[in-house]
Structure 1
Amino acid sequence: MSSELRYTANTQTEHLHARYTGTGHADVTKYDWLTHQHRDTCASIVGHPPLASYLAIADGESIGRVKFEMMERMLQPCGPPPPKDDD
């Protein structure tokens, strides 16, 4: 058993963070985490035509308009970043 490679929880999470950049890490700020979540949601809507169609029908807009608005929201989905503390 000692010859087998055993992954601890720490190495598994490091692998997860390296593979999926949106999963965050211990030092991620609330703003960064929320920004990743909003961008992932917008990208999912743009990338899945049934979701875009659903939103287009619900909003009474064209599918192209919904996709365009989602792409625009990806620029700053949570507004401008908060000021950084220089400690």
Structure 2
Amino acid sequence: MADKLRTLQNLEHLQSRYLGTGHADTTKHEWSSNLHRDSYASYIGHPALLEYMSIGMGESREKVRAAMVEKMVRPVGVKNVEEEG
């Protein structure tokens, strides 16, 4: 019983610290939005990866960075109303 309680407390701690882990009330849209935002933030935060992606896209690094920052506003589109329930 103590192990189960400790496991639940650890899970709650992780969920409060890292948004990407989600929780029971997290919708699919919220989870995928967090995942995409975390990915864009990682791409922007690693200059070598951003440079690699900009070369592949044939754009300047700053244009690619600006496009990714804009995509962080609404990364997966409009929330589906039917999803709430």
Q: Same fold (TM over 0.5)?
A: yes
Q: Deviations over 1:17-60 (max 9, x none)?
A: 11112221011111111000000000111111011001100000
SS at match of 2:73: coil
The one-letter code matched in structure 2 to 1:53 is E
Q: Is the 8 A contact 2:40 2:72 kept in 1?
A: yes
Aligned pairs, number: 83
Tell me the TM-score normalised to structure 2 length.
Answer: 0.86
From the two aligned structures, give the one with the greater helix fraction: 2
- Cα distance in 1 for partners of 2:84, 2:38 equals 30
The one-letter code matched in structure 2 to 1:38 is H
Q: 5+ residue gaps in structure 2?
A: none
Pairs within 5 Å for 1:43-58: 43-58=41-56
The residue number in structure 1 matching 2:27 is 29
Q: 5+ residue gaps in structure 1?
A: none
The one-letter code matched in structure 1 to 2:13 is H
Question: Shift of the alpha carbon at 1:83?
Answer: 1.4
- When the two chains are superposed, the root-mean-square deviation of aligned CA atoms in Å is 2.0
Tell me the TM-score normalised to structure 1 length.
Answer: 0.85
The residue number in structure 1 matching 2:80 is 82
SS at match of 2:80: coil
SS at match of 1:8: helix
